[in-house]
Amino acid sequence: MAKSIAGPEIERLIQLLAKLPGLGPRSARRAALHLVKRREQLLGPLAGAMAEANESVRTCSNCGNVDTRDPCTICADPGRDRSTLIVVEDVSDLWALERAKALNAAYHVLGGVLSPLEGIGPEELNIARLVERVAEGGIAEIVIAVNATVEGQTTAHYLMDQLEGFDIKITRLAHGVPVGGELDYLDEGTLSAAMRSRTKF
Amino acid sequence: MAKSIAGPEIERLIQLLAKLPGLGPRSARRAALHLVKRREQLLGPLAGAMAEANESVRTCSNCGNVDTRDPCTICADPGRDRSTLIVVEDVSDLWALERAKALNAAYHVLGGVLSPLEGIGPEELNIARLVERVAEGGIAEIVIAVNATVEGQTTAHYLMDQLEGFDIKITRLAHGVPVGGELDYLDEGTLSAAMRSRTKF
Ligand SMILES: [Zn+2]
Ligand SMILES: [Zn+2]
């Protein structure tokens, strides 16, 4: 859109919306127009919700989760099994596991994976606090639920080294065929792993 | 996402983001997380831009365009050929034609199309003001650039009836606009060509 069509406020809104994942320049324009045409129902409330989130969001000092309180809702939940700690790369993984109701346990969010190429070493990740939590005691099992990527696995092995000497069980997510997935579309590594871990009907 | 994972502020942010075109519930969660992880670079500025747009956006009392000033940037532009008026359904169509640099003319935004089924009659559209502008004089040509849909064409014919008796040329965009297609989705070359080949009604 030419700079001169609408006011600079709208232009700036479009530019910022285009930085959201899933919105390109064209859909950002559509979203901006959708907003300015629905000021009372949407633009105003969304501006308010963003200001409020901006005001209240913080990183949990215990686990690295993102929430509007610290300790976060999960860390503060007395109904959680705190003897099991699920280690994830990102808050989005925590949300995904929670949606799946995978395990009623506690979490630890690393905030990324080791990546020498991108200059991300152990100090850039939330690892020291993980070791600290384990040292504080009460944890029986750590599920390393990082992504099945090269960096994820490198990070998993680094964590196992760091946690050596503690009397805890360290586990990882099973490899296998996704529920509802078609064999035809799966890569050979997944299929081999699923076959190796085959279970009795 | 279960209500209890993050604070209500984040939940509300997700719900509002999901109302944007192009964002479903899943991508709204991704967008919300993207925002709360980038508070200083993105969430804060976007909250501010939305508040500012919400504060400053208005509908041009002359042409129906959306802008942060009234009369809008286009109506106030002395470099525009005001003897030609391009009538569009929606501001998004105006933006699309401007991006295509289709014609350096003035606009008139109807705010929709006639649709008896949805209870949209002439009074619901910005038509009276269009007739008024024509009656004020100085307009030699009206390009009816409505969508090539049934409602769009019905609206075009209604407008021609309303403008009968005025000594003006009424044209429409050339065929080349796909039948059933919406201007907003067309590439700039097609829009420019369609404008160049506009024909007499
Ligand atoms: Zn926490
Ligand atoms: Zn105007």
Of all residues in chain A, the percent with pLDDT exceeding 90 is: 65
Query: CB A53 to CB B10 under 8 A?
Result: yes
Question: What pLDDT does B199 receive?
Answer: 66
Q: What is the DSSP string of A82-126?
A: EEEEEEESSHHHHHHHHHTT--SEEEEE-SS--BGGGTB-GGGTT
Query: CB B7 to CB A57 under 8 A?
Result: yes
What residues have a C-beta under 5 A from ligand 1, the ion?
A 60, 62-63, 65, 71-72, 75
Give SS3 for B41: helix
CATH of the domain at B149: 3.40.1360.10
Q: What is the DSSP letter of B175?
A: B
B95 token code pair:
């933006």
A36 token code pair:
């300015």
Query: Is A161 among the domain residues?
Result: yes
Which residue from A minimizes the CA distance to B69?
A: A7
| Mean of pLDDT over chain B | 89
For residue range A36-69, what is the model confidence (pLDDT) as tens digits?
Answer: 999 999 999 999 999 999 999 999 999 999 998 9
Question: What pLDDT does A2 receive?
Answer: 44
Query: For residues A177 and B98, which has the higher predicted lDDT (pLDDT)?
Result: B98
Query: Is A8 among the domain residues?
Result: no
Query: Is B136 among the domain residues?
Result: yes
Tell me: pLDDT of B109 over 90: yes
Which pLDDT band, with edges at 50, 70 and 90, does A13 fall under?
Answer: very high
Tell me: pLDDT of A1 over 50: no
Mean pLDDT (whole number) for A160-173: 92
Which residue from A minimizes the CA distance to B107?
A: A5
Rounded to 10 deg, the angle between the B91-99 and A25-37 helix axes is 150
Query: For residues A30 and A199, which has the higher predicted lDDT (pLDDT)?
Result: A30
Of all residues in chain A, the percent with pLDDT exceeding 70 is: 97
Q: What is the DSSP letter of A168?
A: -
| Mean of pLDDT over chain A | 89
Question: What pLDDT does A4 receive?
Answer: 57
Query: CB B7 to CB A68 under 8 A?
Result: yes
Query: CB B31 to CB A44 under 8 A?
Result: no
Query: Is A32 among the domain residues?
Result: no
Query: Is B49 among the domain residues?
Result: no
Question: What pLDDT does B196 receive?
Answer: 75
Residue in B133, B115, B135, B117 with CA at minimum distance from that of residue B125: B115
Query: Is A160 among the domain residues?
Result: yes
Question: What pLDDT does B1 receive?
Answer: 42
Mean pLDDT (whole number) for A33-37: 92
Query: For residues A172 and B138, which has the higher predicted lDDT (pLDDT)?
Result: B138
Question: What pLDDT does B2 receive?
Answer: 44
Instruction: Note down the domain range covering B104.
Output: 79-175+189-194
Query: Is B132 among the domain residues?
Result: yes
Question: What pLDDT does B176 receive?
Answer: 64
Which residue from A minimizes the CA distance to B106?
A: A5
Tell me: pLDDT of A161 over 80: yes
Tell me: pLDDT of B201 over 80: no
Q: Which ligand is nearest to the CA of A73?
A: 1
pTM for the model stands at: 0.77
Question: What pLDDT does B150 receive?
Answer: 87
Give the Cα separation of A123 and A127 in Å (integer). 7
Tell me: pLDDT of B189 over 80: no
Query: Is A58 among the domain residues?
Result: no
Number of domains in chain A: 1
Q: What is the DSSP letter of B111?
A: S
User: In angstroms, what separates the C-alpha of B67 from chain A's closest C-alpha?
Assistant: 5
